[in-house]
């Protein structure tokens, strides 16, 4: 088998060139942040942080990138960093996405990790630019108490810094933290701190030196379903006879506070408002429109509790695991469905074909610890390669199914720590000649023909030694 051809995202190439040209990147001190506003959303179990930075170049040489710093504990849980440059003012504002890549700084204190945002245009001395940054953290809400009984709500800790960690000097900064409810047990006060309704406000803080850090801890109630898919295997099998078959294997776990002791069905059924508030029994999966032959089962048969709603724009599959999931409980299941081929496989101008499918987990608001997507191309496909908008591990496999002789090429894409923001389309390009579609029917025809010929021959041959 020939080694798989992988595309290197063009941005990477660009960066390599860029770093060659601007070999002397400006030292961090030459930039400063005029105004920073951070909004942390704690309402689900995925922590989303929106950061608005107004960066000014106070140095002499033009700058081409802006660094973002993260404490090492956060860096481990970082699922996604997106950045955009805001152009225009107020209502005419438009955002242009920017490339973000992991970066190293040799003299970083306390093992801080960095991402660098590559600016579209160089930031000349004295100019300012406004950056909008979104990053998502997973597994960052730590349940405390770690074990709760059926009737208790789920309380979690969130740890961060009141002051934005940054390699730059920050003139003004404010942090807003949104909690899912008003039930906040405690929070660290770093003056000035205000709490109003479901919002905590830290700041405004002025003129903080680079790498300032002021740890805060917020203890609050969060009964959002902590649905974590430990492993998700999505298998997309393309058949040029007109359909795409998708099989998704889930290993689901409730990652919140562990359930302790008794599970009483009578309490769960009679007092749903106070019993098992952190548990969940429904999940909603958003499937593509025109989905057909949906099934939902596990190792021991169908799970008979699911509803499918199909309309022209989307299909929604409401699934219920066999039992309500309390903290620490696990469940496994398989969802499978078919899709019409013409919605997802297209012909590229150069004659090759490509599959355009969405990355990520179709179940809403879930974290996927390990996502594997296998795209099974039809037998006889050549030169497969995948184009994914972010870094993933790729390799090739061969799968044998339904009378295959040479096997089907499989493009395997693997990514850890996937959040719903990763649901973006990706493409798999391959070359396929339609004549291969006929291989298997012809094989069957030949086999049956030979069978009949043998029967005819057998009936006409007299094998007896002695003629009677």
Partner 1 sequence: MAEMENAKGSTLRYACGNVLSFFILILIGVLAFSIRLFSVIKYESVIHEFDPYFNYRVTQFLTKNGIYDFWNWFDDRTWYPLGRVIGGTVYPGLTLTAGSLWWLLNSLNIPLSVETVCVFTAPIFSAYAAWATYLLTKEVKGTGAGLTAAVLLAMVPSYISRSVAGSYDNEAVAIFALIFTFYLYIKTLNTGSLFYATLNALAYFYMVCSWGGYTFIINLIPMHVLLCIVTGRYSSRLYIAYAPLVVLGTLLAALVPVVGFNAVMTSEHFASFLVFIILHVVALVYYIKGILSPKMFKVAVTLVVAVGVVVCCAMMAVLVALVASSPTKGWSGRSLSLLDPTYASKYIPIIASVSEHQPPTWPSYFMDINVLAFLVPAGIISCFLPLSDASSFVVLYIVTSVYFSGVMVRLMLVLAPAACIMSGIALSEAFSVFTRSIKFQMPKLLDDSDPVPGDIASANSVVQSNQAKVEKHSAVDKSEGTLKERPQKKSKKKEKEPLEKASIKSQIEKKLLVLPLESSVLAILLLVLLGAFYVVHCVWAAAEAYSAPSIVLTSHNHDGLHVFDDFREAYAWLSHNTEVDDKVASWWDYGYQTTAMANRTVIVDNNTWNNTHIATVGTAMSSPEKAAWEIFNSLDVKYVLVVFGGLVGYPSDDINKFLWMVRIGGGVFPHIKEPDYLRDGQYRIDSQATPTMLNCLMYKLSYYRFVETDGKGFDRVRRTEIGKKYFKLSHFEEVFTTHHWMVRIYKLKPPKNRIRGKTKKSKSSPKTSASKKDDRVKKNPWR
Q: Which of 301, 351 has the CB closer to partner 1?
A: 301
Which of 304, 312, 350, 458 touches partner 1 (CB under 8 A)? 304
Handedness of CA 153, 159, 162, 165 (dihedral sign): negative
Should residue 434 be labelled a site residue for partner 1 when binding is judged by CB under 8 A? no
Q: Which of 389, 407 has the CB closer to partner 1?
A: 407
Should residue 329 be labelled a site residue for partner 1 when binding is judged by CB under 8 A? yes
Should residue 241 be labelled a site residue for partner 1 when binding is judged by CB under 8 A? no
Should residue 301 be labelled a site residue for partner 1 when binding is judged by CB under 8 A? yes
Provide the minimum distance between the beta carbon of 308 and partner 1 in the complex, in angstroms, as a whole number.
16
Over the range 220-253, which residues count as b (16 or more CB within 10 Å of their CB) and which as e?
A: bbbbbbbbbbeebbbbbbbbbeebbebbbbbbbb
Stretch that binds partner 1, among 10-18, 96-104, 325-333, 354-362 (CB under 8 A): 325-333
For the chain, how many residues are written?
468
325: DSSP letter: B
Q: Which of 17, 295 has the CB closer to partner 1?
A: 295
287: DSSP letter: E
Q: Which of 94, 466 has the CB closer to partner 1?
A: 466
Provide the minimum distance between the beta carbon of 237 and partner 1 in the complex, in angstroms, as a whole number.
11
Provide the minimum distance between the beta carbon of 334 and partner 1 in the complex, in angstroms, as a whole number.
11
Should residue 262 be labelled a site residue for partner 1 when binding is judged by CB under 8 A? yes
Draw the binding track, 366-405, toward partner 1 (x: CB under 8 A; -: no contact).
----------------------------------xxxxxx
Q: Which of 61, 332 has the CB closer to partner 1?
A: 332
Stretch that binds partner 1, among 32-40, 63-71, 297-305, 382-390 (CB under 8 A): 297-305
Provide the minimum distance between the beta carbon of 412 and partner 1 in the complex, in angstroms, as a whole number.
18
Which of 266, 435, 461, 463 touches partner 1 (CB under 8 A)? 266
Provide the minimum distance between the beta carbon of 45 and partner 1 in the complex, in angstroms, as a whole number.
20
Residues 151 and 134: their CA atoms lie apart, in Å, by 36
Q: Which of 402, 458 has the CB closer to partner 1?
A: 402
Residues 288 and 297: their CA atoms lie apart, in Å, by 19
Within 8 A by CB and 6+ apart from 316, the residues are 284, 285, 286, 287, 308, 309
Site for partner 1 in 52-111 (CB under 8 A): none
Residues 459 and 446: their CA atoms lie apart, in Å, by 20
CB 264 within 8 A of CB 294: no
- Peptide bond connecting 204 to the previous residue in cis, omega within 30 degrees of 0: yes
Should residue 247 be labelled a site residue for partner 1 when binding is judged by CB under 8 A? no
Which of 10, 17, 265, 425 touches partner 1 (CB under 8 A)? 265
Should residue 323 be labelled a site residue for partner 1 when binding is judged by CB under 8 A? yes
Provide the minimum distance between the beta carbon of 432 and partner 1 in the complex, in angstroms, as a whole number.
19
| DSSP string of 419-435, one letter each residue | -GGG--EEEEEEE--GG
Work out the angle at residue 243's Cα, subtended by the Cα atoms of residues 242 and 244, and round it to the nearest 5 degrees. Answer: 145
Q: Which of 101, 297 has the CB closer to partner 1?
A: 297
CA 256 from centre of chain: 20
Provide the minimum distance between the beta carbon of 330 and partner 1 in the complex, in angstroms, as a whole number.
4
Spell out where 311-381 has E strands. Answer: 315-319, 330-340, 345-347, 353-358, 367-376
Helix, strand, or coil here: 298? strand
Handedness of CA 345, 347, 352, 358 (dihedral sign): negative
Q: Which of 24, 304 has the CB closer to partner 1?
A: 304
Q: Which of 241, 400 has the CB closer to partner 1?
A: 400
| Distance (Å) of CA 324 to CA 148, 247, 260, 281, 327 | 16, 23, 15, 4, 10
Q: Which of 34, 334 has the CB closer to partner 1?
A: 334
Element (H, E) at 199: strand 199-208
Q: Which of 114, 263 has the CB closer to partner 1?
A: 263
Binding site for partner 1 (CB under 8 A): 261-266, 270, 298, 300-305, 322-323, 328-332, 400-405, 468
């Amino acid at each position: 088998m020939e080694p798989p051809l992988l595309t290197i995202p063009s941005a990477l190439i660009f960066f390599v060139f860029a770093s060659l040209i601007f070999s002397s990147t400006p030292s961090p001190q030459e930039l400063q942040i005029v105004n920073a506003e951070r909004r942390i959303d704690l309402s689900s179990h995925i922590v989303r942080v929106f950061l608005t930075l107004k960066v000014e170049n106070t140095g002499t040489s033009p700058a081409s990138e802006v660094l973002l710093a993260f404490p090492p504990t956060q860096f481990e849980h970082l699922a996604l960093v997106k950045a955009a440059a805001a152009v225009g003012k107020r209502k005419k504002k438009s955002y242009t996405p920017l490339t973000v890549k992991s970066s190293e700084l040799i003299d970083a204190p306390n093992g801080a990790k960095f991402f660098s945002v590559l600016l579209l245009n160089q930031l000349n001395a004295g100019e300012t630019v406004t950056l909008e940054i979104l990053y998502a953290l997973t597994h960052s809400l730590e349940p405390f108490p770690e074990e709760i009984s059926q009737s208790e709500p789920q309380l979690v800790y969130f740890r961060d810094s009141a002051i934005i960690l940054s390699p730059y000097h920050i003139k003004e900064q404010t942090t807003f933290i949104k909690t899912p409810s008003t039930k906040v047990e405690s929070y660290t006060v770093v003056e000035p701190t205000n709490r109003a309704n479901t919002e905590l406000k830290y700041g405004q803080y002025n003129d903080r030196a680079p790498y300032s850090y002021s740890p805060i801890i917020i203890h609050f109630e969060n009964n959002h379903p902590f649905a974590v898919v430990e492993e998700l295997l999505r298998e997309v099998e393309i058949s040029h006879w007109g359909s795409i078959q998708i099989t998704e294997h889930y290993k689901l776990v409730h990652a919140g506070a562990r359930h302790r002791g008794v599970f009483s069905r009578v309490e769960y059924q009679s007092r749903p408002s106070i019993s098992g508030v952190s548990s969940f029994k429904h999940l909603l999966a958003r499937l593509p429109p025109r989905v057909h032959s949906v099934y939902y089962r596990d190792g021991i048969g169908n799970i008979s509790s699911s509803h499918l709603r199909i309309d022209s724009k989307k299909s929604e599959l409401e699934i219920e695991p066999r039992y309500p999931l309390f903290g620490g409980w696990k469940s496994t299941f398989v969802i499978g469905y078919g899709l019409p081929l013409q919605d997802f496989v297209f012909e590229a101008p150069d004659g090759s074909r490509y599959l355009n499918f969405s990355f990520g987990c179709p179940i809403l608001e879930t974290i996927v610890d390990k996502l594997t997507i296998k795209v099974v191309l039809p037998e006889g496909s050549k030169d497969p390669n995948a184009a994914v908008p972010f870094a993933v591990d790729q390799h090739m496999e061969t799968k044998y199914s339904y009378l295959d002789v040479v096997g089907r090429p499989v493009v395997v894409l693997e990514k850890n720590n996937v959040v719903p923001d990763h649901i973006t389309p990706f493409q798999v390009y391959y070359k396929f000649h339609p004549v291969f579609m006929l291989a298997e029917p012809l094989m069957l025809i030949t086999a049956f023909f030979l069978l009949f010929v043998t029967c005819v021959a057998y009936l006409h041959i007299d094998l007896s030694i002695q003629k009677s």
